[in-house]
Amino acid sequence: MQDIYILGIESSCDDTSAAVLKNGILLSNVTASQAVHEAYGGVVPELASRAHQQNIVPVVDQALKRAGVEKEQLSAIAFTRGPGLMGSLLVGVSFAKGLARALGIPMVDVNHLHGHVLAHFIRESEDDHSQPPFPFLCLLVSGGNSQIVKVNAYNDMEILGQTIDDAAGEAIDKCSKVMGLGYPGGPIIDRLARQGNPEAYQFAKPNIPGYDYSFSGLKTSFLYSLRDWLKDDPDFIEHHKEDLAASLEKTIVDILMKKLRLAVKDTGIKHVAVAGGVSANNGLRNAFRDHAERYGWTIYIPKFSYTTDNAAMIGITGYYKFLDNDFCPIDAPAFARM
């Protein structure tokens, strides 16, 4: 059988990433992050696309070199088609098209969220057998999404529930921003929360039916409480940031786990995974471990480097679509929303 070499390309937000896989095993994964946004407290789309343009050639070049693979050996190019920032996506999509056309090889379009879920199938060696069995549930929590996904097969998944407003990561980032803590808020809140008391403050929790999430009420409740506390003590945030971070984190984790428990109960599926940028969070990881112990779940937590945006997850998703002969035409447009 001929070896299958896939080049994966990810450029949906503010990380330019390229990965090379051989028969579904990861050979390299190179990511250039963009520091340019830090001064603005959020990703500036126009700056992101410019940085992608500067990064894309050296990142792909590095990924091929580290893998020890010549571009002529590639079987296909997998790229993130959406969702994401249009200008950012266009850089990866256009590059993938140009290279695929030049090499005369097919392209595989990948939904970024599909990639986050299949991050659990990234294998660094032949003897890595820690992948979840089908079907499993996946809590997908990133800056733009909060979903409970039932994964039936590599290319067959259903969204059981999702946020009706803000995503969990978005709520954390926004609360961190109003506290003046910096961007992105996730890792900062995570670090502070470890030194704080999670029971110090209570914030509003949503009460919506089914498996759907909502985080905008929590965000508003956080803002209003903060406004009142600051009236009494202008240095309130400085004095209490650890407790604020711990209480905020706990509230978000509680909201996420409550719906996930319901989904586990109703589907009877006890293999439960977590994916997306927020899965780096220690409070959430601990809650998963706690649920594994308490309710007998078998849990799957990805390696840190595969939780945030990376091309390895795009490459592995591309590999399984390649095996299904699921290619896309050269005129496939990028989609900001999918």
Is there a contact between 48 and 15 (Cβ–Cβ < 8 Å)?
Answer: no
Q: Which is nearer to ligand KG4, 258 or 265 (CB)?
A: 258
| 64 binds ligand KG4 per the rule CB under 6 A | no
Site for ligand KG4 in 300-319 (CB under 6 A): 308-309
Encoding tokens for residue 314?
């795009």
| 187 binds ligand KG4 per the rule CB under 6 A | yes
Is there a contact between 235 and 218 (Cβ–Cβ < 8 Å)?
Answer: no
Q: Which is nearer to ligand KG4, 159 or 269 (CB)?
A: 159
Instruction: Tell how strand 107-111 and strand 298-300 pair up.
Output: unpaired
| 83 binds ligand KG4 per the rule CB under 6 A | no
Number of residues written out for the chain: 338
DSSP 28: E
| 217 binds ligand KG4 per the rule CB under 6 A | no
Nearest to 259 by CA among 142, 141, 175: 141
Residue 150-169 contact track with ligand KG4, rule CB under 6 A, x = bound: -------------------x
The correct pick among 172, 175, 299, 313 for binding ligand KG4 (CB under 6 A) is 172
The correct pick among 184, 196, 315, 318 for binding ligand KG4 (CB under 6 A) is 184
The CB-of-94 to ligand KG4 minimum distance in angstroms stands at: 20
Residue 262, number of CB atoms within 10 A of its CB: 15
Q: Which is nearer to ligand KG4, 105 or 219 (CB)?
A: 219
Site for ligand KG4 in 224-283 (CB under 6 A): 276-278, 280-281
The CB-of-197 to ligand KG4 minimum distance in angstroms stands at: 18
Q: Which is nearer to ligand KG4, 330 or 338 (CB)?
A: 338
Counting residues that bind ligand KG4 (by CB under 6 A) gives: 19
Q: Which is nearer to ligand KG4, 11 or 308 (CB)?
A: 308
d(CA 184, CA 271): 30
Reduced to 3 states (helix: H, G, I; strand: E, B; else coil), residue 111 is strand
Which range binds ligand KG4 by CB under 6 A, 2-10, 56-64, 142-150, 158-166?
142-150
Give the type of residue at 73: Q
The correct pick among 10, 109, 166, 173 for binding ligand KG4 (CB under 6 A) is 173
First to last CA, the chain: 35
Q: Which is nearer to ligand KG4, 151 or 278 (CB)?
A: 278
Residue 289, number of CB atoms within 10 A of its CB: 13
Nearest to 145 by CA among 256, 31, 249, 61: 256
The residue nearest ligand KG4 at its CB is 277
3-state percent helix, strand, coil for the chain, nearest multiple of 5:
50, 20, 30
H helix and E strand count, the chain: 9, 10
The CB-of-218 to ligand KG4 minimum distance in angstroms stands at: 14
Place of tokens 């905020």: 248
Residues in contact with ligand KG4 by the rule CB under 6 A: 13, 142-144, 169, 172-173, 184-187, 190, 276-278, 280-281, 308-309
